[in-house]
Structure 1
Amino acid sequence: MELRDEVLKEMALLRERAADVSGSVACTVDGLPIACDLPSSGPGIGTGNGTGDGGAQTAALSAALLAMSKRMIAGTGRGALEETLISGTAGYAACYAAGPTIVLTVLAGPGANLGLLRLEGRRTAAGLAAIAARERRKT
């Protein structure tokens, strides 16, 4: 199975396990989209196939956010980064390092169960990290 397909499978499982999740994007730490599971409507939202402008834009912003979050945590002596959670009036965006090469951003609506979002976001990030590690061993 191709990397993108395995990642999309994990992202679909995330939606099944956490009903509040409205979409997710996986990208490289350089901001290149790997897979996109976003709704097909709304401002700045991609087509769901990882090639839409919304997916590419979200991927680029996710990589930048992860890099800044890691620097903030390191600079303030707060240990290893677990996640970055952004709260907006229309919901949440949570960003996770999925191993050393993948960034996962998970979107959820307002009123989302944040405990479940954090638990399942971390679980999915760990799954993506394992997929990436298997891919690295193949090469």
Structure 2
Amino acid sequence: MELQKPILEEMALLRERTPDVNGSVACTVDGLQVACDLEGDRGEQAAALSAALLAMSRRMLTMTGQGTFEETLISGAAGFVAFYAAGPTIVLTVLAGPGANVGLLRLEGRKTAAAVAAVAARQHRTSPW
């Protein structure tokens, strides 16, 4: 089973449930793009930066004793970027426009990350490797 198609389906559902979402990208924890729902060719760069931010966030949580990584939210003048753990091997990055309902973004982002984690877990269980 290939990961890209079912993960893109989950990303499409995220856009349907959350109108402020502009796009998303899923990548491995080492920065390799798995699926991309971003305009243009920014997916690979976003994946690499997502993995770097994940590493920094995990390090900060470990250093401060705050538990395992769940999410990081960046607020900018033109919108938001949210990063979610999607199981142990995938990071889901979600972009939302200015004025986005952050509570809804967090709720739906976590729901989508859980669905992406389930897809990755199914792939891992059925993989011949």
Length-normalised TM-score, structure 2: 0.95
The 5 Å alignment of 1:3-18 reads 3-18=3-18
Structure 2 SS opposite 1:24:
strand
> Structure 1: where are the runs of 5+ without partners?
40-45, 47-51
How far apart, CA to CA, are the structure 2 residues paired with 1:11 and 1:100?
19
Partner amino acid, structure 1, of 2:120: A
- Aligned residue identity for 2:82: A
Which segments of structure 1 move beyond 6 Å, counting only runs of 4 or more? none
Contact 2:28/2:91, CA 8 A, preserved across alignment: yes
Amino acid of the structure 2 residue aligned with 1:116: L
SS of alignment partner, residue 103 of structure 1? strand
Q: CA RMSD in A?
A: 0.9
Residue 36 of structure 2: aligned partner: 36
Matched pairs, number: 127
**Whole-Å separation in 2 of the counterparts to 1:105 and 1:124:** 10
Q: Give me the whole-angstrom Cα distance separating, in 2, the residues matched to 1:79 and 1:30.
A: 21
1:21-100 equivalences under 5 Å are 21-39=21-39, 46=40, 52=41, 54-100=42-88
What percent of counterpart residues are identical?
Answer: 72
Corresponding residue number in structure 1 for 2:125: 137
Q: Distance in 1 between matches of 2:125 and 2:115?
A: 16
Instruction: Return 5+ residue gaps in structure 2 as ranges.
Output: none
Deviation at 1:3, TM superposition (A): 1.1
